[in-house]
Amino acid sequence: MSNFYFGECDTVELAKKYGTPLYVISEDYIKERCDEIKHDFLLKYKKTMAVYASKAFLTKEMARIIAREGLGLDVVSGGELYTAVKVNFPMDKIIFHGNNKTEEELELAIKNNVGRIVIDNLREIDLIEKTAEKYDKRVNILFRISPGVNSHTHKYISTGQVDSKFGIPLDDNIIHRGIKKVINYKHIKLLGFHFHIGSQLFENDTYIRAVRVIAGLMKEVKDELGFITKELNTGGGYGIHYAGKGERKPLKYFTDAIMGELEKCCTEYNLERPLLMIEPGRWIIGEGGITLYTIGTIKNIPGVRTYVAVDGGMPDNPRPSLYSAKYEAVVANKILDERNEIVTIAGKCCETGDILIWDLKVPKIESGDILAIISTGAYNYSMASNYNRIPKPAVVMVSQGKDKLIVKRESYDDMLKNEI
């Protein structure tokens, strides 16, 4: 009998030691991705910056790793920012996003000297100026532009199209008005533009089109307003492998194409190439995480289907029910057994749609077996809920055969702690 190893750790032993469901994250995997970013982007090209989109997976330990690796952090809420503050993350490397930042969040960002705030709509400009004046600071900002390009992904995670809640529309009147406004403000410094076209993307063509659109804007605002773009942030979105087709591509497949197009456009339009920023999330962490479950009830409906229920489900991984996301899994304690049965992995929620995997090939399965779902590093822990009052699982970090608990399992009392 052989078990499934992850981060050189026996996952069946991890399940015994920490209980299930359990998120397991490989520190070595995260470091490999960060090394690739350093080698193929930051060191390869001058005037570049890379930040990790912390919405994919954020804990204090994750923020410490990203800081040690020298990357910046994209935060999108007061809570993500607060996590970074608590571990003394270098504030100049923080990019603060959000399509509806509250005054309280902006105040937290400005007081803590975040490196850049990405303005999603013109309403934020006055709020930032007012708060920055109060604290006597000058705040660097970028305008998030929705470049009007459609990406090939699920419609819920596509963001660059015209009809989107994110970003300032590509409309001369609105953008010019915004630039003229900030140019006269004492406490704001506009550095350039940002776009993010969507998530789980496998082709670089949409990035290339978006770069060309924004380069056109850079030329226009230089010619008409004298505004020189110093920075361009092209967002994240690089896809990873879950199940079936769709392999994670090397970073340079995206970044070489983005840089190539940017340099080409800058030469064509006689512009100095701005600093180029990227902000991947899923690509850094997604394949670096798995979730371990214990198999409980097995319900066979003869001639129809076999439902195999695990001790978690949509509260720890909402992606299958939200986006019809597909996952691969293995029975961790039977990794070498032949897979000649087909079952459906169900969660334990009171919800028909709580299915984690339809039609998974497995070996002969029994209650008590350990199931490992693969590629759950991104948007699982960070999107987890307490639906049905199910406590959130613990998170364990593994590296070279060693494991350490980085988030304790929630208790029932933890869920009640704010209740009167």
Q: Which residues are annotated as a binding site for substrate?
A: 282, 319, 323, 351, 379
SS3 (DSSP) at 111: helix
DSSP assignment of 79-94? HHHHHHHHTT--GGGE
Closest listed residue to residue 170, CA positions, set 124, 127, 208, 220: 220
**Distance from the Cα of residue 186 to its chain's centroid:** 33
| 237 is an interface residue for ligand PLP by CB under 6 A | yes
Of 80, 279, 354, 403, the one binding ligand PLP by CB under 6 A: 279
| 281 is an interface residue for ligand PLP by CB under 6 A | yes
The distance of closest approach from Cβ of residue 76 to ligand PLP in the complex, given in angstroms and rounded to an integer, is 7
* 274 vs 347 by CB, closer to ligand LYS: 347
Of 167, 274, 280, 313, the one binding ligand PLP by CB under 6 A: 280
Q: Could you tell which of ligand PLP, ligand LYS, none binds residue 392, using a CB distance below 5 to 8 A set by kind? A: none
Please tell me the distance from the alpha carbon of residue 203 to that of residue 201, in angstroms, as a whole number.
6
* 19 vs 169 by CB, closer to ligand PLP: 169
Closest-by-Cβ residue to ligand LYS is 379
- Does the annotation count 350 as an active-site position? yes
Closest listed residue to residue 167, CA positions, set 100, 227, 215, 219: 100
With contact defined as beta carbons under 8 Å apart, do 15 and 368 qualify?
no
| 93 is an interface residue for ligand PLP by CB under 6 A | no
* 199 vs 294 by CB, closer to ligand PLP: 199
SS3 (DSSP) at 107: helix
* 147 vs 237 by CB, closer to ligand PLP: 237
Angle (CA) 27 383 280, round 5°: 55
With contact defined as beta carbons under 8 Å apart, do 276 and 47 qualify?
yes
Of 9, 81, 110, 157, the one binding ligand LYS by CB under 6 A: 157
Of 379, 384, 395, 397, the one binding ligand LYS by CB under 6 A: 379
Of 4, 18, 57, 283, the one binding ligand PLP by CB under 6 A: 283
Binding residues for pyridoxal 5'-phosphate: 237, 279-282, 379
Burial annotation 364-383 (CB, 10 A radius, 16+ → b, else e): ebeeebbbbbbbbbbbbbbb
The distance of closest approach from Cβ of residue 291 to ligand LYS in the complex, given in angstroms and rounded to an integer, is 14
Stretch 318-357 residues interacting with ligand LYS (CB under 6 A): 319
* 151 vs 199 by CB, closer to ligand LYS: 199
Phi, psi of 374 (to 5 degrees): -95, 155
Q: Residue 114: what residue type?
A: V
| 187 is an interface residue for ligand PLP by CB under 6 A | no
* 74 vs 107 by CB, closer to ligand PLP: 74
The distance of closest approach from Cβ of residue 319 to ligand LYS in the complex, given in angstroms and rounded to an integer, is 5
| 403 is an interface residue for ligand PLP by CB under 6 A | no
Binding residues: 237, 279-282, 319, 323, 351, 379
DSSP assignment of 17-82? HH-SSEEEEEHHHHHHHHHHHIIIIITTSSSEEEEEEGGGS--HHHHHHHHHTT-EEEE-SHHHHH
**Distance from the Cα of residue 118 to its chain's centroid:** 17
With contact defined as beta carbons under 8 Å apart, do 63 and 397 qualify?
no
Please list, in sequence order, all residues whose beta carbon lies within 8 angstroms of the beta carbon of residue 111, skipping any fewer than 6 positions away.
Answer: 135
Q: Could you tell which of ligand PLP, ligand LYS, none binds residue 80, using a CB distance below 5 to 8 A set by kind? A: none
End-to-end distance of the chain based on CA atoms, in angstroms?
A: 50
Q: Could you tell which of ligand PLP, ligand LYS, none binds residue 319, using a CB distance below 5 to 8 A set by kind? A: ligand LYS
Q: Could you tell which of ligand LYS, ligand PLP, none binds residue 236, using a CB distance below 5 to 8 A set by kind? A: ligand PLP
| 55 is an interface residue for ligand LYS by CB under 6 A | yes
Angle (CA) 128 71 27, round 5°: 130
Q: Residue 367: what residue type?
A: S
Q: Which residues are catalytic?
A: 350
